[in-house]
């Protein structure tokens, strides 16, 4: 049993495994070298030889307890036939959501488009570096994918004014997303993913009154599905205010917290395994500040099952030596 599985399944409190969101990618010089000659991000994600290599890059460098698949949550809209491209200094850009078109997509065609992702998981798991570690697959939560598909780009701080205008479009898109997210999850697991994380990056955009329809219900359906596959599920509802209510309703195995949340409050209110919380900007400071902040989380959760992680992804300007220092500090703390 891996360190993360021991933490989740056995609720071991004397074990503090560590992995980092976006640990594979932008801050690593070896990734930048690959990226420089592979400017189309979607094509890079679908190149199983390169994407598996990128997934393993941080595992070769650091003593992490899991590899997370190098992919993107927007591969599901791509698989559904919505055009997705990543523009430099802008981020993802999607074309108009055509409900009639995505309603026609068949499972066989969806899987054919995303097959390289499943192949990369197989390649990663064949590497001896992964023998005692987890391979984390992931999806975007239905709400977050809906945001991108209708908004057509990152919403930053708010949604389009007419976002909720077409209720029929929203309802039917969520149903389609649920179906194909389950297909995507199942195939990641079939090919070797040992944990699934559900990223709800834009959960914080919703008012409390809308949480049951757009967050709780759709995410619960996915959580139950992952559990039916007999592997752990981690949920990361970034920006949500009431983690206690979220955990009570959605019931993930692990709740990943963002850096704006008070970890003391989480420790008092949450019974399940907690992950993350450290502000990724701390990695841009110095080792002493990093040590102080990391120690704060380790102390708060010393008597609670806890997976060390960040409250969001590693920033591109992060020095890999700071990441190395953090991992070694966490590993040697207890």
pLDDT in tens, 12-64: 999 999 999 999 999 999 999 999 999 999 999 999 999 999 999 999 999 99
Distance of CA 201 to the CA centre of its chain: 9
Identify the pLDDT of residue 88: 80
Identify the pLDDT of residue 299: 97
pLDDT > 80? residue 89: no
pLDDT in tens, 159-177: 888 889 999 999 999 999 9
Report all structural domains of the chain as residue ranges with CATH numbers, in order of start.
3-332 (3.20.20.210)
Identify the pLDDT of residue 160: 80
pLDDT > 90? residue 87: no
**H helices of 66-131, where?**
75-79, 99-103, 107-126
pLDDT > 80? residue 84: yes
Average pLDDT over residues 108-136: 97
Instruction: Select the more confidently predicted residue: 128 or 334.
Output: 128
Average pLDDT over residues 213-224: 98
pLDDT > 90? residue 222: yes
pLDDT > 90? residue 265: yes
Q: Euclidean distance between the first and final Cα of the chain, in Å?
A: 20
Instruction: Report d(CA 196, CA 234) in Å as an integer.
Output: 6
Instruction: Report d(CA 82, CA 96) in Å as an integer.
Output: 8
| DSSP track, 255-316 | EEEPTTS-HHHHHHH--SEEEE-B-GGGGGS-HHHHHHHHHHHHHHTTTS-EEB-BSSPPPT
Whole-prediction pTM value? Answer: 0.97
- The overall average pLDDT reported for the chain is 96
| 46-50-56 Cα angle (round to 5) | 115
Name beta bridge partners: 135.
Answer: 67
Please check whether residue 202 is in contact with residue 146, taking contact to mean a CB–CB distance below 8 angstroms: no
Please report which confidence band the pLDDT of residue 96 belongs to, taking 50, 70 and 90 as the band edges: very high
- By percentage, how much of the chain surpasses pLDDT 70? 100
pLDDT > 80? residue 158: no
pLDDT > 90? residue 91: no
246-265 core/surface letters (b: 16 or more CB in 10 A; e: else): bbebbbbbbbbbbbebebee
């Amino acid at each position: 049993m891996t360190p993360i599985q021991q933490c989740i399944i056995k609720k071991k409190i004397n074990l503090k495994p560590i992995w980092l969101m976006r640990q594979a990618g932008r801050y690593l010089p070896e990734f930048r070298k690959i990226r420089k000659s592979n400017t189309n991000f979607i094509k890079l994600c679908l190149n199983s030889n390169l994407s598996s290599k990128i997934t393993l890059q941080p595992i070769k460098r650091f003593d992490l307890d899991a590899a997370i698949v190098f992919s993107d949550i927007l591969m599901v809209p791509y698989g559904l036939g919505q055009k997705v491209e990543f523009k430099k200094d802008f981020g993802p850009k999607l074309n108009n959501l055509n409900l009639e078109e995505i309603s026609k997509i068949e499972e066989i065609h969806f899987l054919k488009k995303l097959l390289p992702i499943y192949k990369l998981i197989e390649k990663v798991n064949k590497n001896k570096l992964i023998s005692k570690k987890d391979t984390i697959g992931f999806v975007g939560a239905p709400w977050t994918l809906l945001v991108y598909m209708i908004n057509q780009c990152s919403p930053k701080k708010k949604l389009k004014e007419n976002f909720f205008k077409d209720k029929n479009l929203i309802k039917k898109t969520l149903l389609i997303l649920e179906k194909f997210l389950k297909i995507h999850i199942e195939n990641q697991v079939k090919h070797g993913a040992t944990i699934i994380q559900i990223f709800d990056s834009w959960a914080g955009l919703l008012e409390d009154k809308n949480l049951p329809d757009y967050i709780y219900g759709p995410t619960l359906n996915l959580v139950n599905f992952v559990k039916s596959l007999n592997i752990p599920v981690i949920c990361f509802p970034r920006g949500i205010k009431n983690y206690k209510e979220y955990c009570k309703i959605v019931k993930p195995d692990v709740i990943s917290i963002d850096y704006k949340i008070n970890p003391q409050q989480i420790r008092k209110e949450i019974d399940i395994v907690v992950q993350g919380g450290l502000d990724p900007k701390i990695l841009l400071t110095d080792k002493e500040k990093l040590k102080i902040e990391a120690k704060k989380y380790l102390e708060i959760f010393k008597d609670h099952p806890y997976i060390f992680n960040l409250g969001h992804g590693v920033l591109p300007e992060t020095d890999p030596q700071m990441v190395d220092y953090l991992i070694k500090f966490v590993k040697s703390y207890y």
